[in-house]
């Protein structure tokens, strides 16, 4: 104790053991990388053609009715665009958009990506890729963490808080009327109800062909038409015909998970693991070491 030089001694076994423990703690939270998925032609999809759409909102109504979604209060100043956007109780909506060709209608719903960020981040498996192609949501499994709302490049899922005290919440979004598809009753109610064929449903491969033909036709009429959703995010199961750049519709040309969302998983989680690992190993090491170096009998 009295100023005599001491050196740090630790057996190799202890050192290796502590290092392994630290590494183990650091890796405990790591998540394996998932392969990129791609859509296949036989899967179910919806095609939306804004040139045919008359903005009657029948799709919006049918969606509410089939999925038993309550109505939202209406803003009298925005008589047409009401409700204002997708929400936990509005899964399908028609909005007005101004593009190259002027004002026209555009329908928004879940894009049902083949490689969906929401599925990737969902910790409970509530969101999953259905064999039929769409992104299914099992509300019973959902624990309301809200990651899907943060990671979706289209801002589609919304959280519905059921209880402020327990934080109980459920994610909500269009499921392509999964119950109808599973039961074989028919297709998504929005597409079934559309009186003008703006929303149609069927096999994705066939819809793509139809879309290509339609795009050629619209181009020959002088419109800057294109397909949106063929390859975006692994291929969408909600295909759209656009008459302008995707950005004019508020759609990303390259759908990306917002960087801030990744920051948490890629940086904060590993950082936390390393910090906890280092703290625990350091303390355990110090404990073992100090126990031998400093004797209680000599301490005042």
Partner 1 sequence: MTVQLKGRAEAITIQWIPKYTFMERLGHWLHTATFVPLAVTGMILYFPFLQPLAQGEAGLLIRLVHRIAAVIFGLLPILYFIIQPRRLLLNIREFLPNKDDLGWLKGAPAYYLLGRHEAMPPQGRFNAGEKMNGLVMIIAWFVFGLTGLPMWFGKGVIPPELYRWLVVFHDLAMIVSVCMFLVHLYLAVAHPLMWAGLVSMRFGVTSADYAAEHHAKWYYGPKRAMEIWEAKKREAAQH
The answer to whether residues 240 and 50 touch, using CB atoms and an 8 Å cutoff, is: yes
226-228 vs 199-203, strand pairing mode: unpaired
Contact 208, 239 (CB under 8 A): yes
Q: Does 158 bind partner 1 (CB under 8 A)?
A: yes
The number of residues making up the chain comes to 300
- Is residue 197 at the binding interface for partner 1, with CB under 8 A as the rule? no
Q: Give CA–CA dist 118/148, Å, rounded.
A: 4
* Cα–Cα dist 48/94, whole Å: 11
3-state helix, strand, coil in the chain (%, to 5): 35, 20, 45
Collapse the DSSP code of 265 into the 3-class scheme (helix H, G, I; strand E, B; otherwise coil) and give the result: helix
Between 158 and 204, CB nearer to partner 1: 158
Q: Does 32 bind partner 1 (CB under 8 A)?
A: no
Taking CB under 8 A as the rule, does residue 73 contact partner 1? no
Q: Would you count residue 288 as binding partner 1 (CB under 8 A)?
A: no
Residue 103 interacting with partner 1 (CB under 8 A)? no
143 binds partner 1 (CB under 8 A): yes
Q: Which of 99, 124, 128, 248 binds partner 1 (CB under 8 A)?
A: 124
Q: How many other C-beta atoms are found inside a 10 Å radius of the C-beta of residue 86?
A: 22
Q: Does 221 bind partner 1 (CB under 8 A)?
A: no
The least CB distance from residue 83 to partner 1, in Å, is: 15
Backbone angles phi, psi at 150, to 5 degrees: -85, -30
For residue 250, the minimal CB distance to partner 1 (Å) is 14
CB of 183 to partner 1, least distance (A): 26
Instruction: Name residues contacting partner 1, limited to 167-186 (CB under 8 A).
Output: 167-169
Q: Which residue has the tokens 């929005």?
A: 190
The span from the CA of 29 to the CA of 94, in Å, is 41
**Per CB under 8 A, does 268 bind partner 1?**
yes
The CA-based diameter of the chain, rounded to the nearest angstrom, is 96
Give the one residue of 9, 12, 68, 300 binding partner 1; rule: CB under 8 A: 300
Phi/psi at 202 (nearest 5 deg)?
Answer: 165, -160
CB closer to partner 1, 197 vs 258: 258
Asked whether position 271 contacts partner 1 by CB under 8 A, the answer is: yes
CA 2 to chain centre: 63
> Does the footprint of partner 1 cover residue 2 (CB under 8 A)?
yes
CA distances from residue 148 to 110, 130, 143 in whole angstroms, order as listed: 12, 17, 11
CA gap 40, 117 in Å, rounded = 18
Binding status of residue 122 toward partner 1 by CB under 8 A:
no
- The CB-of-14 to partner 1 minimum distance in angstroms stands at 15
Which tokens sit at 118? 């929401």
Q: Which stretch binds partner 1 (CB under 8 A): 67-75, 129-137, 152-160, 218-226?
A: 152-160
> Counting contacts by CB under 8 A, is residue 77 touching partner 1?
no
Taking the least distance from each CB to partner 1, the nearer of 193 and 261 is 261
CB of 149 to partner 1, least distance (A): 4
End-to-end CA distance of the chain: 12
Q: Which stretches of the chain bind partner 1, using CB under 8 A?
A: 1-4, 6, 8, 28-29, 31, 88, 123-124, 143, 145-146, 149-150, 155, 158-161, 163-169, 258, 260-261, 263-264, 268-269, 271-272, 275-276, 278-280, 282-283, 286-287, 289-291, 293-296, 298-300
């Amino acid at each position: 104790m009295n100023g005599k030089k001491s050196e740090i001694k630790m057996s190799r076994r202890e050192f290796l053991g502590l290092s392994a423990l630290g590494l183990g703690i650091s890796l405990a939270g790591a998540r394996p990388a998932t392969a990129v998925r791609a859509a296949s032609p036989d899967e179910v999809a919806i095609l939306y053609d804004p040139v045919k759409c008359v903005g009657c909102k029948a799709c919006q109504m049918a969606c509410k009715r089939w999925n038993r979604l309550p109505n939202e209060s209406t803003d009298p100043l925005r008589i047409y665009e009401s409700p204002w956007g997708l929400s936990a109780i509005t899964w399908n909506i028609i909005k007005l958009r101004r593009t190259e060709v002027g004002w026209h209608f555009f329908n928004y719903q879940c894009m049902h990506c083949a490689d969906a960020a929401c599925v990737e981040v969902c910790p409970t498996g509530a969101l999953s890729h259905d064999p039929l192609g769409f992104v299914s949501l099992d509300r019973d499994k959902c624990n309301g963490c809200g990651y899907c709302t943060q990671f979706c490049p289209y801002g589609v899922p919304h959280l519905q808080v059921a209880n402020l005290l327990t934080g109980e919440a459920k994610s909500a979004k269009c499921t392509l009327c999964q119950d109808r598809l599973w039961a074989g009753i028919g297709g998504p109610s929005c597409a079934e109800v559309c009186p003008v064929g703006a929303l149609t449903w069927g096999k994705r491969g066939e819809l793509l062909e139809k879309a290509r033909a339609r795009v050629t036709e619209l181009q020959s009429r002088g419109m800057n038409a294109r397909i949106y959703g063929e390859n975006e995010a692994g291929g969408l199961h909600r295909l759209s015909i656009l008459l302008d750049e995707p950005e004019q519709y508020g759609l990303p040309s390259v759908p990306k998970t917002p960087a801030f969302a990744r920051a948490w998983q890629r940086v904060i989680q590993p950082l936390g693991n390393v910090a906890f690992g280092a703290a625990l190993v350091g303390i355990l090491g110090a404990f073992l070491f100090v126990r031998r170096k400093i004797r209680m009998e000599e301490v005042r």
